Amino acid sequence: MLDIFDFESRRISKNAEERNPYTDEFYESLLADLKERVDEDRYTHTLGVIEMADILCDVYGIDKKKARLAAAIHDWDKCYNDEEMRKRIFAVGANSYATEEIIDKMPKVMHGATAAFALGIEYPNIPSDVLRAVINHTTANVRMSRLDMVIYIADALDPSRDYPEYDELVDLIGKICLEDLFCRVFAESTIAVIKKGKPLHPKTVEVWNANLEMYNARHAND
């Protein structure tokens, strides 16, 4: 199976369409395709994530082109129901990123991984760090790149969101470092899942504990 994170193998793939992923033409074509794939609310959400990612990039000095691209495709596979997603996981080879429990009980949480696998193969010039940010925008990871954090935070702070902690979190942008902001957003997102009575992803505790340890190390002298 082709490894989507093997950039060179993807770049020279003879069967894949190779296009510059940072042109306005490519970006607009992706948005046009997305609009046909998802419902109106999801498309509006995506535009909001792009907007928030742009703000975060300005504040924290992240590459806007990469963030814009990752934000545009982060919910590419939100159009599938549970059974369709199970089929999609195996069709694109994303089962290597999932346990049987995830595929059986919460397949939709894999929408970032299936999007990254599918688009990474179809468009081999999409950089691996962009694809990783797409994967990590759902459950996060033990070690998040700054691009990962921007997409995760932008997804949670899309301007169309409406929840009690929203204004407080947005107000923290620029007042605390990106890593601390990620920890705050991850905590609120996890609490929200619990309040909704939904199951947590098996690695949520691992992700929280690892990032909390790094948070405490950053603030050891406070």
Give residue 3's pLDDT: 54
Whole-angstrom distance, CA of residue 69 vs CA of residue 148: 12
Q: What does the alpha-carbon distance between residue 207 and residue 138 come to, in Å, rounded to a whole number?
A: 12
- The reported pLDDT for the residue numbered 96 is 84
Q: Which pLDDT score is estimated for 125? A: 85
Q: What is the pTM of this model?
A: 0.92
Is the distance from CB of 152 to CB of 136 less than 8 angstroms?
yes
- Give yes or no for a contact between 152 and 49, defined as CB atoms under 8 angstroms apart: no
Side chain identity at residue 155, one-letter code: D
- Tell me, what's the pLDDT at 16? 47
Instruction: Copy the structure tokens of residue 112.
Output: 């970032």
pLDDT at 20: 82
For the chain, residues with pLDDT lower than 50 are 1-2, 7, 14-16
**Ramachandran class of 92: left when φ > 0, alpha when ψ lies in -120 to 50, beta otherwise:** alpha
